[in-house]
Amino acid sequence: MRRNPRYDPLFEPLQIGPKVTKNRFFQVPHASGMTNAAPRVRAAFRGMKAEGGWGVVCTGACSVDPSSDDSPFPNATLWDAADIKAHALMTDAVHAHGALAGVELWHGGAAAMNRTTRLPALSPSGVPWMATHVPFMSQARPRIMDASDIKDLIRWHAEAAIRAEQAGFDILYVYSGMGYLPYQFLLSDYNHRTDAYGGSVRNRTRLTENLIDAVRTATQGRTAVALRISMQELRNRPSDSHASEAHEVIHHLRDAPDLFDVKMDYSAYDCAPSRFTPEGSHETTIDFMKTVTDKPVVGVGRFTSPDTMVSMLKRGVLDLIGGARPSIADPYLPNKIDEGREEDIRECIGCNICISSWHDGVWVRCTQNPTAGEEWRRGWHPERTPKDGSGTVLIVGGGPSGLEAALTLARRGFQVTLTDKAEFGGRLRYETALPGLRAWNRVAEYRLGQLRKLNNVALYPNSELTAQNIRDFEADHTILATGSRWLPNLCGANELPAAPLTAPRIFTPTDLASGATPEGPVVVFDFDNYALGTAIAEDLHDKGHAVTYITTAGAASAWTFLTNEQPLIHQALARRGIGYRTLQIVTGFDGDTLHLAQIMTGEPSSIRVRSLVIVGQRLGGSPLQQELADLPSLHLTGDANAPGAIAHAVWQGHRTARDLANPNPVLRRDAAFATADTVAAE
């Protein structure tokens, strides 16, 4: 197929300093959890995006000096010559497909806790980062940089730039964003200095300018120099001479870098979840850039629609379409647009499971793309599977895991039959009807769209299968993807589970998904701590009930801090007037009065309520598994195997399909290259 001419502007080359990108698809630096300890995993992950058509592919933040150490969060390093080889693997993988490779030189300043190197954190004026999440907190406070520290910081950037060029990077970033050191100089809240680096906006901008100059001088103009800068706070601050401090900062820097990469300051707005934030949400913050500078500008906004992308270019908001999450969900997004296959794009659903991986300190996971991070370890390609399948497969259950298994097995060449007792979608049928979660249904829509194109797949919705039906089908392989169910069990103190509660009008998400309707007022008791509890509370409120949300944790949907949703969830509850109580367990309910206890002190309280929704434990397994235990090739997958987020279900479905009748599934272990010290010691 041919590219739609409407999208031609996305494929025009662009000069970035001394380099030229072949198109406008720019994978901006984003966390992958892949440090120098996993160089082959990282190279394969980034290289896949170059293979999929991204014109520029950047690696994540690279610390320039041991005084910027993000542990236990994963961060890459460019500390000395021993780090070069690991990065060269990535740049080779990117160059192999005609893309440019970029690197984000990073110093965290007061936001880097230096837990491993134990060096005092650096800061303009000794002001710490106001972390609200326990793992980000530290009792070590930063020290105030003196003139020699500033010289050192500039030198570290210059030296790291030389190493980055030796590693093969084409675009070297200075990073003045997201609370990190150069950003702290820009903001008057952090910067109380009275020297040439503090006071006026001009002075506060000086460090960023010095770093850009240092990187350019170090590589003598052979590489492009980019500036990544957060604009959210600066845009909200008045300036004496410009429309805002953001305008003034960019005015001072307008000719300094070869490229501006503009973003928000706070992760929940920068990497904003789809539950609350639409595509292109940064625009009102960064839309002024092209009025102040002639340099190319790249920005993100979870862009998956080529029409939105073209509009960003045509309206002069951006010159390059930045992608982090869309490139994880579909490394082949540019090629699909180029080939006129827009309907094949595996669109990011905005769930932010990817960013939760970084917060968890592990390699990136993606709900939509189960192969992300598995390119090298398991040899999984997002678009290609070996054509090695023969025989028939019956899949029972068409939720995320069943759909993914069906698609992957069909691509392998099996004759696939997919059944579901209801319409396809499984848990998504209910969950994506809850407020804000509509975009998550892309998990089902993408897979059903692809399955309908294949002629070796038979789809049977609304077909409940019994064990006898399954036997009679006589498939060579049978996969049970029948999901899990939520239980009415409670949660005790001391992290212990408690027995189920029996009383009138107790509901679980499984009951609500089946159409049960609570009577108000309702309490939602949540110790699952992910998205569902609060989404149900919002939904019941929107349906006219008085709702109170109660959780064992210290905040609503506590785990969603990791997905950037938590602050926005609290805002949504507040907007609706949904009251919430934290650190509580339910100890009893008689249909009219709900008894609670403070989880740490045991202090009792009660609340008058007609219905209780318990969002707590889930149980997998399937009675079909016992009844069919003698079948020769029977497999349980997805939530039926081990309940989890949608991402877990998709990954399990993919793995089941990859490994079915495959005697030698690939599983490799990556390792760091030897450092200069270990080589010398050996």
Residues 350, 400, 488, 616: which binds ligand ADP (CB under 6 A)? 400
Contact partner, 464, from ligand SF4, ligand ADP, none, Cβ < 5-8 Å per class: ligand ADP
Q: Which residue number, 226 or 439, has a Cβ lying nearer to ligand SF4?
A: 439
Answer yes or no whether residue 253 interacts with ligand ADP by CB under 6 A. Answer: no
The 467-486 contact track toward ligand ADP, x by CB under 6 A, reads --------------xxx---
Residues 119, 154, 313, 422: which binds ligand ADP (CB under 6 A)? 422
Q: Which residue number, 131 or 513, has a Cβ lying nearer to ligand ADP?
A: 513
Task: Say how far apart CA 399 and CA 395 lie, in whole Å.
Answer: 11
Residues 253, 348, 512, 594: which binds ligand SF4 (CB under 6 A)? 348
Site for ligand ADP in 482-521 (CB under 6 A): 482-483
Contacts of 148 by beta carbon, 8 Å cutoff, 6+ apart: none
Piece of 53-61, 363-371, 464-472, 489-497 that binds ligand SF4 (CB under 6 A): 363-371
Report in angstroms how near the CB of residue 655 gets to ligand SF4 at its nearest: 17
Q: Is the peptide bond before 461 cis (omega within 30 degrees of 0)?
A: no
Contacts of 600 by beta carbon, 8 Å cutoff, 6+ apart: 493, 583
**What DSSP assignment string belongs to 471-535?**
HHHT-SEEEE----EE--EEE-STT-EEEE---TTEE-HHHHHTT--PPSSEEEEE-S-SHHHHH
Helix (H, G, I), strand (E, B) or coil at 569: helix
Phi, psi dihedrals of residue 226, rounded to the nearest 5°: -110, 150
Which residue has 């202090």 as its token pair? 603
Answer yes or no whether residue 464 interacts with ligand ADP by CB under 6 A. Answer: yes
Q: Which positions are catalytic?
A: 180
Q: Which residue number, 74 or 620, has a Cβ lying nearer to ligand ADP?
A: 620
Answer yes or no whether residue 153 interacts with ligand SF4 by CB under 6 A. Answer: no
Answer yes or no whether residue 397 interacts with ligand ADP by CB under 6 A. Answer: yes
Report in angstroms how near the CB of residue 348 gets to ligand SF4 at its nearest: 3
Answer yes or no whether residue 207 interacts with ligand SF4 by CB under 6 A. Answer: no
Piece of 88-96, 203-211, 398-406, 663-671 that binds ligand ADP (CB under 6 A): 398-406
Task: Say how far apart CA 348 and CA 330 lie, in whole Å.
Answer: 7
Contact 532, 508 (CB under 8 A): no
The 353-392 contact track toward ligand ADP, x by CB under 6 A, reads ----------------------------------------
**CA quadruple 186, 191, 197, 200: dihedral sign:** positive
Report in angstroms how near the CB of residue 392 gets to ligand ADP at its nearest: 17
Contact partner, 377, from ligand ADP, ligand SF4, none, Cβ < 5-8 Å per class: none
Q: Which residue number, 101 or 329, has a Cβ lying nearer to ligand SF4?
A: 329
- The structure tokens listed for 591 are 């249909």
Q: Which residue number, 22 or 618, has a Cβ lying nearer to ligand ADP?
A: 618
Contact 499, 560 (CB under 8 A): no
Contacts of 176 by beta carbon, 8 Å cutoff, 6+ apart: 182, 183, 185, 186, 208, 211, 227, 228, 229, 230
Contact 341, 1 (CB under 8 A): yes
Q: Which residue number, 475 or 649, has a Cβ lying nearer to ligand ADP?
A: 649
- The structure tokens listed for 678 are 């270990």
Site for ligand SF4 in 280-339 (CB under 6 A): 325, 328-329
- Single out the residue of 81, 76, 84 nearest to residue 676, CA to CA: 81
Contact partner, 354, from ligand SF4, ligand ADP, none, Cβ < 5-8 Å per class: ligand SF4
Answer yes or no whether residue 399 interacts with ligand ADP by CB under 6 A. Answer: yes
Answer yes or no whether residue 401 interacts with ligand ADP by CB under 6 A. Answer: yes
Task: Say how far apart CA 390 and CA 22 lie, in whole Å.
Answer: 41
Helix (H, G, I), strand (E, B) or coil at 241: coil
Task: Say how far apart CA 326 and CA 192 lie, in whole Å.
Answer: 39
Residues 167, 262, 366, 448: which binds ligand SF4 (CB under 6 A)? 366
Task: Say how far apart CA 413 and CA 18 lie, in whole Å.
Answer: 47
Residues 102, 296, 350, 616: which binds ligand SF4 (CB under 6 A)? 350
Strand partners, 100: 56
Answer yes or no whether residue 34 interacts with ligand SF4 by CB under 6 A. Answer: no
Piece of 159-167, 291-299, 396-404, 600-608 that binds ligand ADP (CB under 6 A): 396-404
Contact 111, 133 (CB under 8 A): no
Residues binding ligand ADP: what is the number (CB under 6 A)? 22
Q: Which residue number, 295 or 346, has a Cβ lying nearer to ligand SF4?
A: 346
Encoded amino acid at 48, one letter:
M
Residues 85, 202, 421, 545: which binds ligand ADP (CB under 6 A)? 421
Piece of 176-184, 348-356, 402-410, 476-484 that binds ligand SF4 (CB under 6 A): 348-356
Helix (H, G, I), strand (E, B) or coil at 84: helix
Task: Say how far apart CA 381 and CA 390 lie, in whole Å.
Answer: 20
- Single out the residue of 150, 237, 153, 140 nearest to residue 188, CA to CA: 237
Answer yes or no whether residue 382 interacts with ligand SF4 by CB under 6 A. Answer: no
How many C-alpha atoms does 436 have within 13 Å on its Cβ side? 23
Task: Say how far apart CA 577 and CA 597 lie, in whole Å.
Answer: 23
- The structure tokens listed for 642 are 């081990």
* Distance between first and last Cα of the chain: 56
Contact 180, 109 (CB under 8 A): yes
Report in angstroms how near the CB of residue 482 gets to ligand ADP at its nearest: 4
Contact partner, 57, from ligand ADP, ligand SF4, none, Cβ < 5-8 Å per class: none
Q: Which residue number, 383 or 627, has a Cβ lying nearer to ligand SF4?
A: 383
Residues 99, 234, 353, 457: which binds ligand SF4 (CB under 6 A)? 353
Residues 39, 402, 533, 616: which binds ligand ADP (CB under 6 A)? 402
Answer yes or no whether residue 564 interacts with ligand SF4 by CB under 6 A. Answer: no
Report in angstroms how near the CB of residue 364 gets to ligand SF4 at its nearest: 8
Greatest pairwise CA separation for the chain in angstroms: 83
Q: Which residue number, 74 or 488, has a Cβ lying nearer to ligand ADP?
A: 488
Answer yes or no whether residue 427 interacts with ligand ADP by CB under 6 A. Answer: yes
Answer yes or no whether residue 624 interacts with ligand SF4 by CB under 6 A. Answer: no
Contact 625, 636 (CB under 8 A): yes
Encoded amino acid at 410, one letter:
A
Answer yes or no whether residue 367 interacts with ligand SF4 by CB under 6 A. Answer: yes
Contact partner, 348, from ligand ADP, ligand SF4, none, Cβ < 5-8 Å per class: ligand SF4
Burial category of 203 from C-beta neighbours within 10 Å (exposed 0-12, middle 13-18, buried 19 and up) = middle
Q: Which residues bind ligand SF4 (CB under 6 A)?
A: 325, 328-329, 348-354, 366-368
Q: Which residues bind ligand ADP (CB under 6 A)?
A: 396-402, 419-422, 426-427, 464-465, 481-483, 638-640, 649
